[in-house]
Structure 1
């Protein structure tokens, strides 16, 4: 009887694992593929109305006007995409995808570590490639993401991954691309539950908090030039900020904080910096442009931060910064950020509705994002020699009504567009069709 119960439990667990398993990652591309007739949105602002796109062994070999070039495709797998659209895979920066599965289940939450200065904490090794949330990105064309830790003053080190993999090693595109610093707030609100004045007031500890990070970097430089027999992981981790192998992603919204962060970069000889959030970036746009600092702007679908701001300020910020020459891309941090990351193309669609052209808005989630993350050599646009990471949509991919994917490829691999959500949709659609 005891063995029977054990066998029943084992069978139940096996069945549950089959039900809960993610889609099996696609195998490597084995045959050249030609996509013919689609409108190709290159990702760099260009469009080819009647395109011929060919890729082999995961790389784009032809991206051209089908009316101009003549190539024999008889020995290839041909996809007829007339009246459809081809886009580069969309890229979501500053995301905790794969680090948290269910907020209420502590064992599935791995986006934050104990401590304040944690540059050595690597998000990549905690990334869950079998996350059901991650697989739900693909049906909307979101195929690549920067997996970013949270918490503390220095949260840790992010990495860039693709969203169809067996494990984090397979997923990695760019390992340890940047360190994330949460810049101190120059103002603070009183904690009413501790008897403090709930109003907004200057942060008395602002200078002290900035100094803490400055001292940490100076100590790491001293460590690098001194005796390293006793290994210090946090000091080791930040060395990439000085030699250019890592970027410093500074999470800051206010104009004073952005200005101070730029001065901090210059004073500490940090090679490359990116502003994340940047709600008031327009006020210091000249300074950002002077120091060649891009901005991953605050979620477009949000309300204004201040009562005297324009109601549509979050919608038009991308246009305003682009017009003054600042490199801009979109990110989606905030409430429900992992589940809402699938709406990334529609954030770009809103930016297009508030001033940018459709192709400029597309760049916010393709080539601009790739440049900021340092992966533009291989990703972000449909250009010969780059990765065949792309998808075919029945209509405009920035419009939620017409973003309907037929096919998607990551590094030339024909990936599944099924997810837990699509399976449920089909299941209940069939139920009501039969009634």
Structure 2
């Protein structure tokens, strides 16, 4: 009897844990699916009313306004609704951090200062409840990026419906992340120093550390590579153009210095991440065709002398200057990544055309991350990673998803939050 009680307890405990586990990944698409009647937001600025979108074997086969022969297809009547390509969260910590206050669940910052060989992908947790909660807002892909140190490591891009990180990856080791030294530092008020900004006296030395690492790695790669040096070997992709260098920098001087540093070292694949003062150096950005992943608009100005609404209108300023721009979420709390569509909506509210703002989290991010050949827009030949919303997906009041697909697989839109919402809605509905 005692043993039976123990077995029952174990089964109940397992069932309790399972009920709050991540949703099982969707099953592979087995028959063609047609979405009919929706307003299709292609993701490249184009809108198709009363559209017909057909996808088969995980790929979009047609996007038009002609009713196809739907015999043998699963037909979704989406009249009055909207279809969008899956949103792409650039520079995120999704799957790397579960609870900020629990160090054991935080894998975004590894020990070390120059660690380009550290791959964030292998720490990606596909069963994260945080990852699960992104999908009901249309965030279906993410660049999983390391944080901390000077050279943080290597990022990869995943789709948010997988059993493991191997299945999740849609582009592995896409780039290396460098945290550029700040040209200014704040006074240490606790030591009696003025609290304002002052020039960073170690700025040149900190840059020289990076230059020395670059030079040493190039010398190593040209030699016999003994003894084996993993950090140096990880830099090879930057020099042969197979990887991008994501430089995290915000101030005007830092952006200028970072660009010249990259060009001096013949690193051509460069992306500015943050770029709070990128609007001051648009000529330089255009000269070298350097894209910018701006900070989330829902933040404070980067400095005391910036316009109060600069974070809201920065996307429009860069767009008007013909700079390729997208939105990244690295400076937001991990769970706030789900607000990605509303960040784009804020850019639209501050001057951008709605469809151009949509590109900040679809086609532009896909181009910047180098995955635009197969995602980012609703076009024939691309992955069927898309969703249907009852209304405008950039408006938090109307972005209510009814269906979502990743590579043609219909995915669950349930999450830990929706389960709790249903649970307590039922409890209080009659009170």
TM-score normalised by length of structure 1: 0.97
Partner residue, 1:255:
252
- How big is the shift at 1:289? 0.7
Aligned match for 1:432, one of 425, 428, 431: 428
Structure 1 residues 221-242: Cα deviation after superposition (integer angstroms, max 9, x where no partner): 1111101142211001111011
How many residues are aligned here?
A: 431
8 A contact 2:34–2:75 mirrored in 1 = yes
Partner residue, 2:148:
151
- How big is the shift at 1:427? 1.6
- How do 1:343-358 and structure 2 match up within 5 A? 343-358=339-354
- How do 1:181-330 and structure 2 match up within 5 A? 181-194=178-191, 196-330=193-327
Task: Classify the secondary structure of the residue corresponding to 2:403.
Answer: strand
8 A contact 1:282–1:320 mirrored in 2 = yes
8 A contact 2:296–2:332 mirrored in 1 = no
Unaligned segments of structure 1, at least 5 residues: none
Partner residue, 1:92:
89
Q: Does 1:44 align with 2:40?
A: no
Partner residue, 2:375:
379
Which shows bigger deviation, 19-28 or 246-255? 19-28
Partner residue, 1:16:
16
Partner residue, 1:370:
366
Structure 1 residues 163-220: Cα deviation after superposition (integer angstroms, max 9, x where no partner): 1111101100100000000000000112233554433211111000001011101111
> Counterparts of 2:191 and 2:244 in 1: how far apart (Å)?
38
Structure 1 residues 302-358: Cα deviation after superposition (integer angstroms, max 9, x where no partner): 11122222111110000000001100001122242x110000000100100111111
8 A contact 1:243–1:271 mirrored in 2 = no
* 1:9–1:427 CA distance, 2 compared to 1 (3 A): closer
Aligned match for 2:72, one of 72, 75, 98: 75
RMSD between aligned alpha carbons?
A: 1.4
Unaligned segments of structure 2, at least 5 residues: none
- How big is the shift at 1:17? 2.5
- How big is the shift at 1:430? 2.0
Structure 1 residues 13-66: Cα deviation after superposition (integer angstroms, max 9, x where no partner): 41233133100000110010000010000000000001010000000001012x
- How big is the shift at 1:6? 5.0
Q: Does 1:410 align with 2:406?
A: yes
Partner residue, 2:417:
421
> Counterparts of 1:5 and 1:37 in 2: how far apart (Å)?
56
> Counterparts of 1:194 and 1:376 in 2: how far apart (Å)?
50
8 A contact 2:52–2:67 mirrored in 1 = no
